[in-house]
Amino acid sequence: MSEVKKLNLNGLLLIDKERGPSSAEIVRQVSRLVVKKVRVGHAGTLDPDASGLLVLLLGPATKLSDFVMSLSKIYEAVVRFGIETDTYDATGKTLSEKDTSDLSSEKVESLLDEFRGTVRQVPPAFSAIKIQGKRSYEFARRGEMKELPERETVIYELKLLKFDSPEALFYVKCGKGMYLRTLAHDLGKRLGCGAHVKTLRRLAIGEFTPSVKVSDLTVENIKDFLVSPSRIFDEKKCFKLNFNGAMNLRRGIPLRAIDFIVRPLEPVGERTGVLDEEGNLIAVAVIGHGGSMLERKIVQPL
């Protein structure tokens, strides 16, 4: 009976990752709880030394990784000033140590505006970014520090929550591709003392927050913790089809006006979900002019 249940898995697991295991290790642990036919992936890694939300995708939901990764993310990070490391976190080799006796919360606060809004970052050499078919950290571990291209990202909110020199606690809400380790490193450079991330916890991705530790998952209860893929999208902006419309879409039959229950008119050009009349996500599409459905992609076939 459990085999049948496992074959129907489709959704998101909101894992509360502890410090230590890599994101790939968490994926492997969950994969052991499901049959081989069920794919398991993640929507954005967490460094092994980081904790907090790791979104896993199961079954057809693995097709939605890019959509989850495009959502905003919220972190809390403890930054240690005065020590610079090669990994930009506490696991790395110390490169320099400087005095922080004159460092104050006012000095830190005075620089934060430089790091808010659209910013440009150079990712850490110790990162999972691919270079010539290999992860950057593979080169870095061999002492080959490859220069990574600068990239643009967004920091929506950056708050200093607590300052107890030489450490500070920050709240950060950011967009895709923002590295907290680089933020800490760059802030340390601007202050002239160096810095690294001591601890990091991801609090949220979009509206998703951690709900279960991987150690608490079993073959019997894993389905209870699955979150519907439809929650990735704002329901108010989703297309909604009746029974016949959903069947026609899955079969590749052109849709008619009578197939729609809801047709969003805006924002034109935005990717959104396509729901059946029960609210299940069956496809993703782009909102066109006049509520037309463009670039549809089936994510839940018949």
Residue-wise DSSP of 94-116: EEEE---TT--HHHHHHHGGGGS
- φ, ψ dihedrals at 131, nearest 5°: -130, 120
- Helices and strands, counts by H and E, the chain: 7, 17
Locate 220 and state its tokens.
């019997």
Give catalytic residue positions. 47
CA dihedral 89, 95, 97, 98 (to 10 degrees): -100
- What are the C-alpha distances in Å from 135 to residues 35, 128, 130, 131, 187? 29, 5, 4, 6, 25
- Name 227's Cβ contacts closer than 8 Å, sequence gap at least 6: 11, 12, 13, 14, 208, 211
